Structure 1
Amino acid sequence: MTRTTKADDPRTIFEAVCSAMADPTFYPHAVTGVERRDTHISAVFLTGSIVYKLKKPLALGFLDFRRLEDRRTACLREVELNRRLSHDVYREVVPIHRGPDGKISLSPGGRVVEYAVTMRQLPEASNLRTLLETGRAGHECMVEIGLRLARFYDESERSSAVDAYGSPDAVAYNMEENFRQLGPWVDTVLAGWPWPFLCEANRAFLVDHKALFQGRIANGRIRDGHGDLRADHVYFDGGLQIIDCIEFNDRFRYGDAAVDLAFLVMDMAALGHGALGYTLLAAYAAAAADPGVFALIDFYVVYRALVRVKVSCMRLSAADADERAVLLTEIGRYMDLAYRHTLMFARPTLWVCCGLPASGKSSLAARLGEAMGIRVFSSDRVRKTMAPGSGVSPYGKGTYSDQRRNRVYGRLLALAQDELRSGRSVILDATYGRRHWRDGVRQLASDMDAGLIFAECVSPLETLRRRLARRDRSPGLSDARLGHLSRLSAEFEALTDIPQAMRVSVDTDGPRENTVTALLKTAWALRELQIAGRSS
């Protein structure tokens, strides 16, 4: 039996390599200074122009890097995977030798004792976190990232094996793993947070929305993604560069595009730029034709925030007093995010798609309902149900009499109440041109403790006339006609009674596919404001 001496121990060799790499003369190129940075699995050496990244010889359950050959394989995989989202950054994997004289170097000769990934060193000033902190990252940067990620997910691997990681069972496994691994800190570090509520609300969301997760698989949204998509890994240098994806465990990289995006949305919110995170998300959703990403983003933000909480908790035991204070602040910040976004998906929202006839409200309501997986109740359909066989009536008579219209709006409230009472969000699709009808909606939302978003569809009068004229040739569900428009327009009471935090104006004169993502981007920020106001 061969015995391993201390000199041959992988950890001893690794530290000897790191000691050699701390010396600027180790490198065969100009060095402005050597800085070592450590993660839980890597040691990184920055030299000014080139970065050298080593894998630590560790076994951590989710990876095993104790064998040199496994570390080499991981290095090669890192270069291959990260070239998907970067260019002219990842160079090659280089062997590190120990010569017969015991000297460790990059020069050939002797035994290979370690491998390193080499990268072009990107300037810190071009990092997204730095750009955000200095106010130099705005709307254009977010759109560029969103568009690039949409293209990335479209091009990345999809297979039945990858799809399995988007299944409700796989999502539940990852969620419960988080809960279980945070268990040791629940009664101490996390004692001030409503932990049982957070866990049960997330479990309930997964059970109640299985169809959403299964629909994501059917729609091809489960991909081989990045796995660690945070602001620290995004740069603007020679174009957009996204680095440091996870190479050591496919399970952490496979999943819904939403779980990847959620990391960046969460990270930006933690940095105080949540609105820009929604801009990025909307840019992705529009480019990928994936408005449904909004239906799951809060759930996955909670998952990502708890991963960050877990990592910080694990570091507490080895931290000195100063570092411990920093870690506790981080834990509080990410727990606050997890709790807030749990409220975002646990609290139902009453959506009202309103506006003049032919303003596009029914089309918007239908697309919103499909994206979010929630029911839509339309005044046109309720009117037909209450008066079967009725046709087009003159304004003020028949189905357009005040009595009939009040009954229709009352029925819409009853239908919405049933959904909200069951904890489900719901969409109402009607003109809502009178203030007292909107008062009823606001009262219902207040009584049911629901979020409330009025999406007012707006188009020029000429567009409305053109659309209504088409209905004479091709009748649909709505009985509103061109002859009704002048009276309905004159009597339409502006939505000045609706607070800004509950109202979104949606321009429906442009491409139809853009309206729902524009609505969701603004509405998500408003829903977060409503949650904050409720909490305070």
Structure 2
Amino acid sequence: MNDLKVFENVCRAMADPAFYPHRISNLERRETHISVVFLTGDVVYKLKKPVDFGFLDYSQLKTRQRMCELEVKLNQRLSQGVYLGVVPLSREGDKFKFGDSGEVVEYAVKMKQLPDEASLSSLVAGTTVGPDEMSRLGRRLAEFYAAAERGEQIDSYGGCQVIEFNTEENFRQLAPFVESVLEKERFDFIMESSRGFFKDSGSVFKRRVVEGRICDGHGDLRAEHIYFLDRIQIIDCIEFNERFRYGDCAVDLAFVHMDLERLGRPELSLAILNGYTESSCDYGIYTLLDFYSCYRAVVKIKISCLSATELEEGPRKLEMQSRAVQYLDVAFRYSVQFARPTLYVLCGLPGTGKSTYAKKLHHAFDIDLFRSDEVRKELPEYSSRRGPVPFGTGMYRPEIRGRVYSRLLSIVQDELKKGCSVIVDATFSMRKWREEAVRLAEDLDANIIFLECECSRETILERLGHRREGKDGQSDARPEHLGGFVDEFDIINELPPERHTRINTEGEIEANLRTILSGIYSQKRAQVEQVIARL
């Protein structure tokens, strides 16, 4: 009798409440493409199917035993008192039972049964979880990643070569389903955008390795695997392939991020990221969030398609195929988000902190930063020996300032044409300059976000005073110029919310930065959704 037939007979036996040596309150069977789970009310038994999908090989009994043992060990990292051990299942004659007194034919992971209603996937449907709980989850995950195993071998899984291999493997395995299940145009866009990301952003992966962000993670961090009980319990990490568990913290977090956005609660995901970045200071996670979310959605497409192939024609098969199409739409949106460049404009009066946050974003995103002060100093009329001049004269004459903005937007145009996101640090006090920037972004099919920095007049004067003393900044603006800038500043009221946000820079810098990063992520998402709606 082959392993699959034996496995089916074991499952048939376990479907009988009399099979169990303990009380059964409600016996239920659940199934995925790689496992069968029996829930009994208090205890869960999870068996691994004798299958070989290439990326996963459970075809041998010894392998299934070893993987059960590894599953228990690995999952005890993020849970407590849930994974109870591995139990053998044996056969005597034509009967099956727990224990090893007969011929051992299968192994099962024994777990404490957690209530479905405590899972994050259930909780998001109501109002019982909010930003505070999600921030706590983010901090817990930051602690886990900080303590996770690291090393040269594990680092290799965060490199471009391995991630590209995984990505291409997904595309190869999905090729038979294109057109029959998956829309070819969207699938091709996802595939080509992913390949372009590797070509254009290879340095991002290297930087993550250098920063120590690669570790032995979870690998399957979905909302249905996270439970809020007396403590946060996270289960069902990947044990069958190190290639899918080793990697960037971002690839783990992208899974729950994608899941929560799909469930209609993007604000909860951003709260997780806020808690995570608060503990880890890993602001660079936003450089890979959309790419890895797309990657995770493609994995879900693959799982849905593979599951459908195991089913007979009928409602369940159609459900799996429909789920694959839904995840294709999710992956498509993320691919547009990471493929579409963004122009970040740090604007506002002098002394409001534009340069501070422009530099923070420059470091977090690892993209070019261009400042009007530097462009001004490159003009032939500029001379540092003259010192500050009255507002409206010298380098602050209207025609000179116009040339500065023309040159600045010309530089931006060159970068956006190459598909590169860019940061601009300039006052943008006049509406016409802002409108030119918006027009430029729209013409080049780019997102644009204005981050308007604000603070009290007293704080501005104090900061500009430091410049007079040579303590801060490259700007030539001084306290005596403030009145002129205030008088000429056209209040920003022409921009929609997805293109404009105000920042009170008198708050704590790191807290402000976290708010900025989550805010602009939401704004980019909103702009991309508008683009997709027009397709």
TM-score strictly above 0.5: yes
**Alignment-derived partner of residue 356 in structure 1:** 349
Rate the CA distance shift 1:282–1:384 in 2: closer, same or farther, 3 A: same
**Alignment-derived partner of residue 392 in structure 2:** 396
Tell me whether 1:504 sits opposite 2:501 in the alignment: yes
List gaps (5 residues or longer) in structure 2.
none
- Residue type at the aligned position of 1:460: S
Q: Give the 5 Å matches for 1:270-281.
A: 270-281=262-273
**Alignment-derived partner of residue 528 in structure 2:** 531
Tell me whether 1:442 sits opposite 2:438 in the alignment: yes
Q: CA deviation at 1:12?
A: 3.5
Q: Give the 5 Å matches for 1:137-536.
A: 137-191=129-183, 193-317=185-309, 318-386=311-379, 387-389=382-384, 390-473=386-469, 474-535=471-532, 536=534
Distance 2:49 2:322 in 1: 28
Which one is further off, 156-165 or 517-526? 517-526
Distance 1:362 1:490 in 2: 22
Q: What secondary structure is seen at the aligned counterpart in 2 of 1:29?
A: coil
Rate the CA distance shift 1:106–1:328 in 2: closer, same or farther, 3 A: closer
Cα deviation digits, residues 92-121 of structure 1 (max 9, x gap): 12223335x654323563343332211111
Tell me whether 1:131 sits opposite 2:148 in the alignment: no
- Residue type at the aligned position of 1:425: S
CA contact (8 A) 1:364 1:516 kept: yes
Distance 1:500 1:465 in 2: 29
Cα deviation digits, residues 364-423 of structure 1 (max 9, x gap): 111111211211110111112221425322222222222222221111111111111111
Which one is further off, 127-136 or 17-26? 17-26
Distance 2:312 2:423 in 1: 50
Q: What secondary structure is seen at the aligned counterpart in 2 of 1:356?
A: coil
Q: CA deviation at 1:287?
A: 2.3
CA contact (8 A) 2:467 2:473 kept: yes
**Alignment-derived partner of residue 29 in structure 1:** 22
Tell me whether 1:57 sits opposite 2:50 in the alignment: yes
Distance 2:456 2:252 in 1: 39
Distance 1:227 1:126 in 2: 21
Q: What secondary structure is seen at the aligned counterpart in 1 of 2:345?
A: strand
Distance 1:45 1:144 in 2: 31
Distance 1:192 1:71 in 2: 37
CA contact (8 A) 1:270 1:333 kept: no
Distance 2:443 2:411 in 1: 15
- Residue type at the aligned position of 1:433: S
CA contact (8 A) 2:225 2:234 kept: yes
Between the two proteins, what is the percent identity of the paired residues? 45
Rate the CA distance shift 1:111–1:475 in 2: closer, same or farther, 3 A: closer
Q: CA deviation at 1:453?
A: 0.2
Q: CA deviation at 1:321?
A: 2.3
- Residue type at the aligned position of 1:314: L
CA contact (8 A) 1:22 1:36 kept: yes
Q: What secondary structure is seen at the aligned counterpart in 2 of 1:495?
A: coil
List gaps (5 residues or longer) in structure 1.
1-5
Q: CA deviation at 1:155?
A: 1.0
Q: CA deviation at 1:319?
A: 4.2
- Residue type at the aligned position of 2:258: M
Distance 1:281 1:319 in 2: 41
CA contact (8 A) 1:96 1:104 kept: yes
Which one is further off, 164-173 or 465-474? 465-474
CA contact (8 A) 2:87 2:99 kept: no
Q: What secondary structure is seen at the aligned counterpart in 1 of 2:524?
A: helix
Q: Give the 5 Å matches for 1:61-140.
A: 61-99=54-92, 103-106=95-98, 109-140=101-132
Q: What secondary structure is seen at the aligned counterpart in 2 of 1:412?
A: helix
Rate the CA distance shift 1:42–1:327 in 2: closer, same or farther, 3 A: closer
Q: What secondary structure is seen at the aligned counterpart in 1 of 2:288?
A: helix
CA contact (8 A) 1:225 1:255 kept: yes
Q: What secondary structure is seen at the aligned counterpart in 1 of 2:283?
A: coil
Q: What secondary structure is seen at the aligned counterpart in 2 of 1:352?
A: strand
Rate the CA distance shift 1:295–1:242 in 2: closer, same or farther, 3 A: same
- Residue type at the aligned position of 2:507: G
Q: CA deviation at 1:329?
A: 2.5
Question: Normalising by structure 1, what TM-score?
Answer: 0.94
Rate the CA distance shift 1:238–1:320 in 2: closer, same or farther, 3 A: farther
Cα deviation digits, residues 286-326 of structure 1 (max 9, x gap): 32111111111111111111111111122223243212332
Q: CA deviation at 1:224?
A: 0.9
CA contact (8 A) 2:71 2:238 kept: yes
